[in-house]
Structure 1
C-alpha cells in the first residue's frame, strides 16, 4: 500500500507503551483490551457517550507551521508602557541552558532536597539578590506576580496587626491599577477596607493597620517616605512597599527607610514580558516576620555527613498541615522564572546590574531633556525610568503618530507615560523625539540629542541615592564570562534529578512528557515580546490562541466558558469560589458561607475556602477512602440555608472513581449549593467523562499537570477555571483590559490572562493530540497506574481501589506497618534516590503512605524499572523485619549514599558499597548520584539562614 498519506502521530510520541507492550500489560492485568479495563475502572453512569469534538490532530511539523501563522498576527511594537512590565535582553547562555533546557524545566518542586540541590542553590541566590536589593533580612523563593504578592503582604500584616480593631489598608493613589484590583478582591472576604489616598501622615488614622506604597510610583515619580514610615511605626502601622527591583540598584532600598515588607516583580531580571507572564514575584520582609512569610523559603542546613546542604524550610506545605487555618493557600511558585532571574543577577553581578540601571536612567534623562526642549511639560521632578508628559487634547494625535512609528506609550487623563527599559537604544530616543516633535510642527533634527546627552543632570535626589552595597557574595562576583557562567549553570543542573533521568512518579502531580515541540514557540519574540496592556489590535495572535484554547477546554470539561486569569491551581480554587460567592450574592443569598470539604481533600481546598471567607465543614470518608454519602447528606441538609458549595476532587485524592459522584453533586444542588471540582486529577477524566457531565458547576484545571506545562522546579503553573453557563457572567474581569461583563468579579491576578505565554504549550498539546489522542492518553494513564498496582500489591498493601479492584490514574502504597521495625516511609523515599528515582508523594493523603502516579508518558520498561526498585527495597525492609539487618544501622537509614561516601577510604557499614550504590544491574549503565547525604531538617528550621551564607555563618551552623 502506498504511504503517500502517511502522517506521523504525535500521540505515539507522547504515550509511553508501544502497542505490543500495552498488550503484555493488559494480559498481566487479566483483561482482553484497554476498553475492558476502562469499563472496570470508570463507573458506567459517568462515562461520556460521545467522543470529544475537537479538531483533527496535527503532526508536530504541521502544528509549528500553524502556530507560526498565529504568532505572526501579533504585532510586536516597541513597548514604553511600563506599569510593572518591561522588555528585557535575555542572556543567551540563560535562555539556551535554562529556559530551553529540560534539565531545568522538567524538575519537580524540591521536596526531596537531596536530589534538588542545584535548583535550591539557584533559588537561594534569588532570595539573596532580593534581600540585598530591598534592604531586608528575609526573602522567599518567589510568588506568582506583583499584585498577588501585595495581597499576600496585606493579609500577613493584617493577621499580625497589634490593633485588632484596625481594618483599613491605606493604599497610595499612585498605585498600579492591576495591583489595586487584586487587593480589592482579596480584601472582600476578610472585611478589610481598601482606602485609596495620598501617602501623608494625616491619613494615618487609628483604623489603619498598614500602608501600601508604590516605589517608584505608578506615574514614575519617586519620593522620600522615611518621615512617613516613622510616623506610621509610631502608631504601630506597618509599611508595605511595591518596588521595582532594577531601580533599587540606584535608589535607597525601602528596607533602609522603614519598609516592613517589600514586594514586586523580578521580570526585569531577564524574563520576557510574555503578554503578562509567567514572572517571579518577590516578597522580602524583616526577620521578625520570617515565620509568617507566605510561600516557600530555601534554607541552609547540613547533611548527614556534615556538609553544606539546602532544603525548603519552615512551612513548606503549611496548607496541608493547618488546612483552613493556613495563612495562605499557595501551593506553587514561579521557580523556573526565579531561577532565570537569579542567574541574571549572577551573570551581570553588582557592577553589571548598576550599569544597566544607570543606562536606563541616563536614557530616561535624555528623553526628558529632549522632549521638554520641544515645549512639553514633564510632571516628574524625580524619577528612575518613567516620564509623564502633559499633552492634553493632543493625546489622540500623538498616539496615532506613535503607533505609525510602532511605539506603545501609556496614556492616562491627558498625559503620556514613557518607561525606558534595558532594550531601549539611543535610536529609540530619536524616534520618540521625532513623534513628539511632529505634533509641535517640528523635526527630530531640531533637537541636538548628542549635545543633550553630554549635559550632566540628576533625576534622583541625593537623599534617595543608594549608598549601601549589594550582591556582595562571591557567587555574584565570579561568573561573568560566558564560559564561567555556562559551567556554573551546568554544575547546578547536574545535582538535580529531572524527567531527563527517570520517571517522577508523584501522585496528584502528573509529571508527564513536556514535549519539545510544545516548548519551542515559547521563546519566539511574537509571544514573548508583547506587553499585557498592548493595544488589542496588536494581540490578534494571542486572542486566537486563547479563544481556541477556551473552546477546546470547554469541550473537554463540559463547561460553557473558561477564565485564564488564575496563574496557579490554588489561584484557580480561589477564583472559582469567589465566582460562586458572586453568583449567590446576585440571587440575594450572600449569607451562604458554608463549604463542605471531604476529609481526604488537598490541603489547598480548605485554605482557599478560608481565603474566600467561607466556613469549612469537613465531610467524613469511609474505610475505603470514599466520601461518606450519608454524612454529606446530613451536613448538606443541616446547613441548607447557609450552604455555599462542596469542594470535591475527582477521581478522589485516594485515586478512585467514586461511584456515587452524580448523587453527591445532586445532594449539594438540592440544598442550594454549588459544586466546585478540584481538577488536580483531570488526567483520569479527559475524553472519558467531564466535570460538566458529572454535575460540577466550576472546576479549575492544572495546565501544568494534565495539559503539559512543565513544573519548572516548582512553577510556573496555570489554573484556569471552567464554569457552567449560569456562572459565566461572574468570571474575573480586569481593571485595564476588559475580559468579562459588569457582574464579573475583580481581578485575581495581575495580568488579564494570567501567565499567557505558557498557554501555547497546552494549545500545542491539545492540537497535536486531537480528541481521540487525548482520550487514549487518559486510558493509557489508567493502564500504567493499574499495571504498577498489580506489580506491587503483593509486596506493599494497596490502600484503596474501586468496586472492581481497579485504581484510577494513581495508587497508594501502605508503608505504615514497616514502622514497627523502625523503617519510616521517608526512609523508602530516600533509598529510592540510590536507585535513581524521585520518590512518589510521601504521606499524602494518608500519613505513612506512598502515592504513585506514573502518567501515560512512561514506557513499560520504565514502569518495570521503577517497580523492580520498589520490590528490591521491600526485600531490604524484609531483612530488617527478619533481623538480618539492624533497625538503626541499615541501608535504608543511611540512604541516600553519595559518591563521596561510597568511595571513601573507610567503609564501616554492615552492608557492601555495591549494595549502597548499585543494588540493581541497570544502575551500572546509568547512575544518578545524590549530591548530598540526608539533610538535617530540624537543624535548618532551628537556625534559619535563607540567603547565601558567609563562611562565618556556615561555620556557626556546622557547630
Structure 2
C-alpha cells in the first residue's frame, strides 16, 4: 500500500468551544459527588468530634463557600476545559519564546506519581525520607558540575523567586561587610527578564538599566560609566531574550567585581549552554536554573516549579536553608544555615516532584546527552531563524548571523505595509492549532514575536510552524481582514485588555470577584 505524504503542512484545525461557566457558577445547593459515611456512635463517643482537636480560635465560624457539584458534572466541566486548551502535548509549542515549552518524558511523570513519592510529607523524620534527600543531594552535585557553583538550594519555586533570593543574598552579603547602606544600586540590561529589575527593586535597590549597542550587545562602556562605590550588584541573562550571546561577558563581570559588586546570572533558560559554558568561568558569583525550562519539568502555571539557586563557596553561608548534606554516620541530613542566611524563601525544602523529574532527566541523558541538548537546540533555532528571515515582512533586529536558543523577531515591515499587527497574528495562529508569544513590555523590538524551538522538535515540526507563518504573511498582504478578524476556528476571542492596567478591576479569585460585584454576600 502506497503511503501518502502531505506536502502542505498548514493544518486544518477547529477547536472545541463550550460556553462553560466557572465552576462556582455550577454550584447547586445539596448536590454531592461523594457522601462519606457517618462515624458510628461508638466511634464518636470514644474519639469525639474531629473539630474538638482544633483550637476554638482556629475554627471557621461557617463552612467554606465551596461549590456543591455532582461527579458527572465535575467530569464534564474539566474535560470541556481541557478541550479548549492548547499545550506542548497537543501542538508544536515553540511559540512560548522565553517560557520554553519542551517535551517532558512521560516516564518521569509516572515516576513522580508513584505512591512512595506522592505520599511523602515534608514533616516526616529525615530517617524516613533518605531516598528523596539523596535525590536532592545528587541533583545539587549535578548542578554544581553544570554551573561551577559551590552549592545549590532548591527552595525557590520559580525563577522570579530565585531572583528575589539572589537580590536578598546581595543585600545580606554587603550588610555583613558594613556596606549595605552605601551600596544601593543594581545594574541590569533592557533585554534581560523584567523580573531581574523588579526583584531588586523590591529589595530597595535603585535600578540602572543598560541599553544595547548597535549590534544588540549590552554596552560595556556604559557599564564602566555606571559602576561606582554605590554598585551592589549586576544581574543579567546571557543570552538575553533576543537570543544574542554576549561573548565578552567575563569583561562585564570583571568590571563589576573591580567596583566591589556581586554578579548574578539569570540562567532560567540554559538550553543553548549545557555542557558548553558555565557561570563560574564567566565570572558569576550566583546563578539559577529554572528546572521547568531547561530540565524538562512542567511550568505548573507559575508554580510549583523550581528555580535552582547556586552560589560560590564564599556566598554559601547566605543561602536559604536547610540544605541537604551527607553525613557518614547517619546518611542524609538537613543542615540549618547560620546567622548570615537570608532564611526560607518558601515553605519547607522546595517542590520534590520537580526536583525528581529534573534529576531523572539528567541521569537519562548523562554529560554528553546534555551537551547534545544544547547543540540541537541551537541548530533548531538557527534553522528557524534562517527560514523566518525569508518570510515577507519578518525581520530580526540587531546582529545578523547565528543566534543561540531563541530569537526575538519583528513584524514591523509587515505592519507598516499592511496594518496587520503581531497581536493580530497571535490570534490567527490559533486557527491552525498553534501559538506564539510576542514579548514582555516594553516593546523595545517593534511588533515583536519570540520563538524558541528547543531540542524537542523535528525539522518536520519546524517546517509546519514556518509554513503557518508564511501562510499568514501572505494573507496579511492579500486579504488582511482575514488576519485582523481572527480567530475564526478557536475558542479564544478578542479581549479588551485595558483593565490589566487598573488593579481595581482585577479579580484573580472567585471571592475577589464577589467582593467587587456582590459585596453584601461576602463576609
TM-score interval w.r.t. the shorter chain?
0.7 to 0.9
Q: How far does residue 815 in structure 1 lie from its aligned partner after superposition?
A: 1.0
Q: What is the match of residue 382 of structure 2? A: 786
1:347-386, aligned counterparts within 5 Å? 367=47, 384=51, 386=53
Equivalent of 2:317 in 705, 712, 729:
729
Does the 8 Å CA contact 1:798/1:812 hold for their aligned counterparts?
A: no
Does the 8 Å CA contact 2:291/2:307 hold for their aligned counterparts?
A: yes
Q: What is the match of residue 830 of structure 1? A: 427
Q: What is the match of residue 768 of structure 1? A: 364
Give 3-state SS (helix, strand or coil) of 2:461's partner: helix
Does the 8 Å CA contact 1:364/1:385 hold for their aligned counterparts?
A: no
Does the 8 Å CA contact 1:364/1:384 hold for their aligned counterparts?
A: no
The question of 1:864 aligning with 2:482 is answered: no
Give 3-state SS (helix, strand or coil) of 1:692's partner: coil
1:60-75, aligned counterparts within 5 Å? none
Question: How far apart, CA to CA, are the structure 1 residues paired with 2:79 and 2:33?
Answer: 23
Q: What is the match of residue 393 of structure 1? A: none
Give 3-state SS (helix, strand or coil) of 2:310's partner: strand
Does the 8 Å CA contact 2:32/2:68 hold for their aligned counterparts?
A: no
Relative to 1, partners in 2 of residues 1:810 and 1:348: Cα closer, same or farther, differing over 3 Å? farther
Question: How far apart, CA to CA, are the structure 2 residues paired with 1:544 and 1:348?
Answer: 48
The question of 1:499 aligning with 2:88 is answered: yes
- Deviations, residues 439-469 of structure 1 (Å, cap 9, x unaligned): xxxxxxxxxxxxxxxxxxxx799x96427x8
Q: How far does residue 842 in structure 1 lie from its aligned partner after superposition?
A: 3.9
- Deviations, residues 498-531 of structure 1 (Å, cap 9, x unaligned): 1122121222111111110111121122222122
Relative to 1, partners in 2 of residues 1:579 and 1:464: Cα closer, same or farther, differing over 3 Å? closer
Relative to 1, partners in 2 of residues 1:790 and 1:464: Cα closer, same or farther, differing over 3 Å? closer
Q: What is the match of residue 619 of structure 1? A: 210
Relative to 1, partners in 2 of residues 1:785 and 1:578: Cα closer, same or farther, differing over 3 Å? same
Give 3-state SS (helix, strand or coil) of 2:109's partner: helix
Question: How far apart, CA to CA, are the structure 2 residues paired with 1:566 and 1:823?
Answer: 41
Equivalent of 2:494 in 914, 934, 956:
934
Question: How far apart, CA to CA, are the structure 2 residues paired with 1:661 and 1:465?
Answer: 59
Question: How far apart, CA to CA, are the structure 1 residues paired with 2:45 and 2:157?
Answer: 36
Give 3-state SS (helix, strand or coil) of 2:186's partner: strand
Does the 8 Å CA contact 1:384/1:460 hold for their aligned counterparts?
A: no
The question of 1:817 aligning with 2:413 is answered: yes
Question: Which of structures 1 and 2 has the bigger CA Rg?
Answer: 1
The question of 1:635 aligning with 2:221 is answered: no
Equivalent of 1:746 in 317, 330, 343:
343
Does the 8 Å CA contact 1:711/1:717 hold for their aligned counterparts?
A: yes
Q: What is the match of residue 484 of structure 2? A: 893
Question: How far apart, CA to CA, are the structure 2 residues paired with 1:533 and 1:518?
Answer: 25
Q: How far does residue 789 in structure 1 lie from its aligned partner after superposition?
A: 0.5
Relative to 1, partners in 2 of residues 1:629 and 1:759: Cα closer, same or farther, differing over 3 Å? same
Relative to 1, partners in 2 of residues 1:671 and 1:896: Cα closer, same or farther, differing over 3 Å? same
Q: What is the match of residue 65 of structure 2? A: 470
Does the 8 Å CA contact 1:650/1:681 hold for their aligned counterparts?
A: no
Q: How far does residue 935 in structure 1 lie from its aligned partner after superposition?
A: 3.2
- Deviations, residues 724-751 of structure 1 (Å, cap 9, x unaligned): 1111111112599644234222111112
Q: How far does residue 590 in structure 1 lie from its aligned partner after superposition?
A: 1.7
Relative to 1, partners in 2 of residues 1:673 and 1:356: Cα closer, same or farther, differing over 3 Å? farther
Relative to 1, partners in 2 of residues 1:498 and 1:855: Cα closer, same or farther, differing over 3 Å? same
Question: How far apart, CA to CA, are the structure 2 residues paired with 1:673 and 1:356?
Answer: 61
Question: How far apart, CA to CA, are the structure 1 residues paired with 2:354 and 2:302?
Answer: 15
Across the aligned residues of Structure 1 and Structure 2, the Cα RMSD in angstroms comes to 3.5
The question of 1:758 aligning with 2:348 is answered: no
- Deviations, residues 899-919 of structure 1 (Å, cap 9, x unaligned): xxxxxxxxxxxxxxxxxxxxx
How many pairs align? 482
Give 3-state SS (helix, strand or coil) of 1:595's partner: strand
1:104-143, aligned counterparts within 5 Å? 125=23
Q: What is the match of residue 443 of structure 1? A: none
Equivalent of 2:124 in 519, 526, 534:
534
Question: How far apart, CA to CA, are the structure 1 residues paired with 2:314 and 2:464?
Answer: 49
Give 3-state SS (helix, strand or coil) of 2:99's partner: coil
Does the 8 Å CA contact 2:257/2:263 hold for their aligned counterparts?
A: yes
Give 3-state SS (helix, strand or coil) of 1:891's partner: helix
Does the 8 Å CA contact 1:647/1:676 hold for their aligned counterparts?
A: yes
Q: What is the match of residue 681 of structure 1? A: 269
1:419-498, aligned counterparts within 5 Å? 465-466=61-62, 470-471=65-66, 476-481=67-72, 484-498=73-87
Give 3-state SS (helix, strand or coil) of 1:581's partner: helix
Q: How far does residue 553 in structure 1 lie from its aligned partner after superposition?
A: 0.8
Does the 8 Å CA contact 2:395/2:409 hold for their aligned counterparts?
A: yes
Relative to 1, partners in 2 of residues 1:655 and 1:497: Cα closer, same or farther, differing over 3 Å? same
Question: How far apart, CA to CA, are the structure 1 residues paired with 2:88 and 2:317?
Answer: 41
1:293-312, aligned counterparts within 5 Å? none
Q: How far does residue 387 in structure 1 lie from its aligned partner after superposition?
A: 5.5
Equivalent of 1:657 in 245, 249, 252:
245
Q: How far does residue 814 in structure 1 lie from its aligned partner after superposition?
A: 1.0
Does the 8 Å CA contact 1:656/1:808 hold for their aligned counterparts?
A: yes
Relative to 1, partners in 2 of residues 1:555 and 1:943: Cα closer, same or farther, differing over 3 Å? closer
Q: What is the match of residue 305 of structure 1? A: none
Relative to 1, partners in 2 of residues 1:841 and 1:350: Cα closer, same or farther, differing over 3 Å? farther
Q: What is the match of residue 326 of structure 2? A: none
The question of 1:543 aligning with 2:133 is answered: yes
Q: What is the match of residue 587 of structure 1? A: 177
Question: How far apart, CA to CA, are the structure 2 residues paired with 1:584 and 1:357?
Answer: 60
Q: What is the match of residue 602 of structure 1? A: 193
Question: How far apart, CA to CA, are the structure 1 residues paired with 2:93 and 2:487?
Answer: 17
Does the 8 Å CA contact 2:156/2:346 hold for their aligned counterparts?
A: yes
Q: What is the match of residue 512 of structure 1? A: 102
Relative to 1, partners in 2 of residues 1:946 and 1:611: Cα closer, same or farther, differing over 3 Å? closer
- Deviations, residues 314-347 of structure 1 (Å, cap 9, x unaligned): xxxxxxxxxxxxxxxxxxxxxxxxxxxxxxxx89
Give 3-state SS (helix, strand or coil) of 2:383's partner: helix
Question: How far apart, CA to CA, are the structure 2 residues paired with 1:681 and 1:713?
Answer: 17
Question: How far apart, CA to CA, are the structure 2 residues paired with 1:353 and 1:487?
Answer: 13
